[in-house]
Structure 1
């Protein structure tokens, strides 16, 4: 991955990590989860009013929006309501990286290299270690199943994005048009599960904290974050891009520590270190190439130049006529 694109991938993980703080701010302001998700995409879809439509068949556009946005967030929020602690939910959601690799291998024939698989294994061990520090009690089998299904929906959306190609309006236009898809389904789910009374009360009592939360979720996390994600997915194998999402629990924990004063101990720090190490193994290009004898060099030695013959003299190694 090119250095500039590597920085973009890291920026995305930072935006998505702070996403958990923004969600908590929105929930604390009185917004029901599914309504907040629907309003997020209402705002994110506004640029579609002036940005060109992506050159993607309508069916594929709808499919990406259904899996990437509707399925992921509806299943995640429902799973948390069914008994999944928020900390553990944020960790299990990142299993999408491994599910993306499996689906891409089966559908796109993107076979991960041995190094990529080793990196994912190291990162997964770190993710599992972080998971042991989350929640504790309160988890149900239904909540876990729904959250994992949400991660699977995200993985399918990743693979659909991988083959979608570029948009004439850029990644922001693509995300804006994709954001049109989940608005009505999420509003319908909110009406069915949260009720008209809760929706009306939340809209009437919407305050500045709720508005700020929605703007961050719509602009930073959706248009910018998913826009960069789609840009990278269109240019690199899914097995290279998807593991960067494993950094989200780390950036989320750091954001929560800075903004909300959350503290965490040695086990979680060790898990974070393993996730970073796994990404370094699987995604970075190392400049050192091993020699057969075990030593390493940064570049092959320069080839000796053959001196050019003087005018009227034969070239070296040749007999004069």
Structure 2
């Protein structure tokens, strides 16, 4: 992979790692469904008036919007809101790498090799340790499940991007952002209520505004454009697992900025998940080197 693509991947990883802290901060002032609507509303407007619509069917735009945008964040925002720690969410969400590999095998015909299977098994064990090692009241079971749902939605979105192929990613991100605010605002009106919406908007602080701006411009426009271009240039099985560095940044930033702490068992579980991700990315390459070395001997 070219150096510029590695730098792009590093930029996305950093933006998305800190993203979880920003979400947690934003949710202190704005309820999750309203926050989702504001995020994608700011992505779409006013940019949609200056950026051309990408040359693809509205059906593809709809699938992209409902998976990577609405589906992922309606689950993730709600998960963090109901008690999922930001740092832990950044780790559990990376199960999208395994969901992506499995879905790519089913719908794109990409081969699932034994390191992928082993990595999935190891990562699932790590997720079980994380859930079981939670201190009483520190992790919401509902939040944990919702984060896994967010990971599945992200994985489905990765496949949509792969099927779309080469496209103007900036145009895709901006025009697809027209769709999520509709279900977000409707659900916010029904579930969170007009009184709460009005109070949140009238009492929002500079920190709350900055959170929305970061989520819209940095995490969404910059992050998705770069990530989509990487998926378009390289195999899904090579790009998706690069996200294994996101929880490192997410956990460290949550510890430094939010004072979040994990139990010893959860740290072990996190290490096991990272091991599973590493097996998924590097397992086949490592095995080939070992067997080729034995063959030469």
Task: Calculate the TM-score normalised by the size of structure 2.
Answer: 0.83
Note the C-alpha offset of 1:221.
0.8
Is residue 134–residue 263 contact of structure 2 (8 Å, CA) maintained in 1?
no
SS of equivalent residue, structure 1 residue 223: helix
Is residue 41–residue 218 contact of structure 1 (8 Å, CA) maintained in 2?
yes
Distance, in Å, in 2 between the alignment partners of 1:196 and 1:211 is: 19
Alignment correspondent of 1:184: 182
Alignment correspondent of 1:232: 230
Quick check: 1:115 aligned with 2:118?
Answer: no
Structure with larger Rg: 1
Residue by residue over 1:181-234, the C-alpha shift from the partner in whole angstroms, topping out at 9 and shown as x without a partner, is: 101111111111101111111111121001110111111111111222211221
The unaligned stretches of length 5 or more in structure 2 are none
SS of equivalent residue, structure 1 residue 163: helix
Alignment correspondent of 1:312: none
Distance, in Å, in 2 between the alignment partners of 1:268 and 1:296 is: 42
The structure with the greater share of residues assigned to helix is: 2
Is residue 89–residue 147 contact of structure 1 (8 Å, CA) maintained in 2?
yes
Distance, in Å, in 2 between the alignment partners of 1:191 and 1:292 is: 61
Alignment correspondent of 1:204: 202
Distance, in Å, in 2 between the alignment partners of 1:197 and 1:36 is: 15
| Cα pair distance change 1:260/1:147, threshold 3 Å | closer
Note the C-alpha offset of 1:166.
2.3
Note the C-alpha offset of 1:255.
0.7
| Cα pair distance change 1:263/1:153, threshold 3 Å | closer
Residue by residue over 1:17-73, the C-alpha shift from the partner in whole angstroms, topping out at 9 and shown as x without a partner, is: 211111121122x21111011101111113222122112211111111011111222
| Cα pair distance change 1:197/1:80, threshold 3 Å | same
Alignment correspondent of 1:308: none
Note the C-alpha offset of 1:145.
4.9
Quick check: 1:38 aligned with 2:37?
Answer: yes
Distance, in Å, in 1 between the alignment partners of 2:146 and 2:272 is: 27
Alignment correspondent of 1:17: 17
| Cα pair distance change 1:71/1:13, threshold 3 Å | same
Note the C-alpha offset of 1:139.
6.8
Distance, in Å, in 1 between the alignment partners of 2:128 and 2:296 is: 34
How do 1:223-262 residues align onto structure 2 when only pairs under 5 Å count? 223-262=221-260
| Cα pair distance change 1:118/1:255, threshold 3 Å | same
Residue by residue over 1:265-313, the C-alpha shift from the partner in whole angstroms, topping out at 9 and shown as x without a partner, is: 5544444444444444443566x9457562879xxxxxxxxxxxxxxxx
Is residue 120–residue 243 contact of structure 1 (8 Å, CA) maintained in 2?
no
Query: Could you say what the CA RMSD is over the residues aligned between the two structures, in angstroms?
Result: 3.1
SS of equivalent residue, structure 1 residue 180: coil
Alignment correspondent of 1:150: 150
Note the C-alpha offset of 1:134.
4.0
How do 1:289-304 residues align onto structure 2 when only pairs under 5 Å count? 289-290=289-290, 294=294
Note the C-alpha offset of 1:79.
5.2
Note the C-alpha offset of 1:172.
2.7
Distance, in Å, in 1 between the alignment partners of 2:292 and 2:30 is: 62
Distance, in Å, in 2 between the alignment partners of 1:131 and 1:248 is: 19
Distance, in Å, in 2 between the alignment partners of 1:91 and 1:266 is: 15
Alignment correspondent of 1:161: 161
The unaligned stretches of length 5 or more in structure 1 are 298-321
Residue by residue over 1:91-131, the C-alpha shift from the partner in whole angstroms, topping out at 9 and shown as x without a partner, is: 44333222221111111001133334444444554444444
Note the C-alpha offset of 1:89.
4.9
Quick check: 1:213 aligned with 2:211?
Answer: yes
Name the count of aligned residue pairs.
Answer: 293
